[in-house]
């Protein structure tokens, strides 16, 4: 494919957390994007606009169906993105005609299954709870970080292959995430920065499932309508604190995800996928 050729893209989202998806298997250019190019594509004014840019690549070996590269809107490459993993899994299942696939990410191999039309379940792997795995820059109890900014304090740190700090509050709608997000994302205790969640515990359902209202300030993307790994991290944090059963509905700005922290410590996330539109990327955005 010549450098002047346009490149097909698919605009997808998971509960409004949106992605530009490029296929690096048909054209190598998306496999070598520098951060400035990612920012140009993600720019909602001059580019296409997205929270994350996702590149589908050939898997390293036959243990996976596809490999997935994840870039935040600020150009940073990260290891995990739950909503995008559902979208890529849906594409891979549609392509292969199978109702289960394996996605290779920097956070590991993730098993995904169809749960019906445009509904996908992904085993997001084990929650990492040790300070070294978050990572944090000091040996602290991840269940209670001695950290506070504005009205927020005493978060739980969890990694789903990416770092999260979960703050439990009376009313998550009352928190001005834009005011506190940047300082928390860049707090020195997080050497790789962090995704920031504020969560309120709601009454459990008759079926005994938890219900948690959660909003997110994402590392490298800011406030997004939903965060799959953030929902996983929030459920694990709430269960560790004894605030929720290990299975709950996570109610995000963009909709609801069903999350379960399994006995083997893996976290199962189930939620919708959607394609907004497809198009051709201007080659100027790639070079």
Q: Which of 83, 105, 159, 200 forms a contact with ligand API (CB under 6 A)?
A: 83
Smallest distance from ligand API to CB 223, Å: 11
Choice among 50, 81, 87, 232 that is catalytic: 81
For residue 78, state whether it binds ligand API (rule: CB under 6 A): yes
Residue 227 known to be catalytic: yes
Residue 244 makes contact with ligand API by CB under 6 A: no
Q: Does 225 bind ligand API (CB under 6 A)?
A: no
Q: x/- binding map, residues 53-72, to ligand API, per CB under 6 A?
A: -------------------x
CB-nearer residue toward ligand API: 7 or 92: 92
Quick one: 7 or 15, whose CB is closer to ligand API?
A: 15
For the CB of residue 234, give the shortest distance to ligand API in the complex, in Å: 11
Q: What is the 3-state secondary structure (H, E, C) of 45-98?
A: CCCCCCCEEEEEECCCCCCCCEEEEEEECCCCEECCCHHHHHHHHHHHHHHHCC
Task: Give the C-alpha separation, 64 to 11, whole Å.
Answer: 23
In angstroms, the CA 94 to CA 76 distance is: 29
Cα(246)–Cα(238) distance, rounded to whole angstroms? 8
Report in angstroms how near the CB of residue 190 gets to ligand API at its nearest.
11
Query: Is 81 labeled as catalytic in the residue annotation?
Result: yes
Q: Give the Cα separation of 210 and 32 in Å (integer).
A: 43
DSSP 186-240: T-TT-TT--EEEEEEEEPPPTTS-EEEEEEEEETTTEEES--HHHHHHHHHHHHH
230 is in an annotated binding site: no
Task: Please tell me whether 62 is known to bind a ligand.
Answer: no
Does position 105 interact with ligand API (CB under 6 A)? The reply is no
């Amino acid at each position: 494919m010549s450098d002047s050729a346009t490149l097909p893209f698919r605009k997808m989202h998971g509960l409004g957390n949106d992605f530009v998806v490029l296929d690096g298997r048909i054209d190598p250019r998306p496999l070598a994007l520098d951060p400035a190019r990612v920012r140009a594509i993600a720019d909602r004014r001059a580019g296409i606009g997205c929270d994350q840019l996702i590149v589908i690549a050939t898997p390293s070996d036959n243990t996976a169906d596809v490999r997935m590269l994840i870039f935040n809107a600020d150009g940073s490459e990260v290891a995990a993105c739950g909503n995008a993993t559902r979208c890529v899994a849906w594409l891979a299942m549609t392509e292969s005609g199978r109702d289960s696939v394996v996605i290779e990410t920097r956070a590991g191999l993730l098993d995904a299954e169809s749960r019906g039309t445009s509904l996908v379940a992904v085993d997001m792997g084990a929650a990492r709870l040790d300070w070294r795995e978050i990572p944090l820059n000091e040996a602290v109890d991840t269940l209670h970080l001695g950290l506070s900014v504005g009205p927020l304090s005493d978060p739980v740190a969890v990694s789903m292959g990416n770092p999260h700090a979960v703050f439990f509050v009376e009313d998550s709608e009352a928190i001005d995430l834009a005011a506190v997000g940047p300082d928390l994302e860049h707090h020195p205790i997080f050497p790789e920065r962090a995704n920031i969640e504020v969560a309120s515990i709601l009454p459990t359902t008759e079926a005994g499932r938890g219900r948690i209202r959660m909003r997110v300030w994402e590392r490298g993307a800011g406030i997004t309508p939903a965060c799959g790994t953030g929902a996983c991290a929030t459920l694990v944090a709430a269960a560790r604190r004894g605030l929720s059963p290990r299975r709950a509905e996570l109610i995000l700005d963009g909709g609801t995800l069903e999350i379960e922290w399994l006995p083997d410590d893996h976290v199962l996330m189930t939620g919708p996928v959607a394609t907004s539109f497809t198009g051709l990327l201007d080659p100027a955005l790639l070079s």
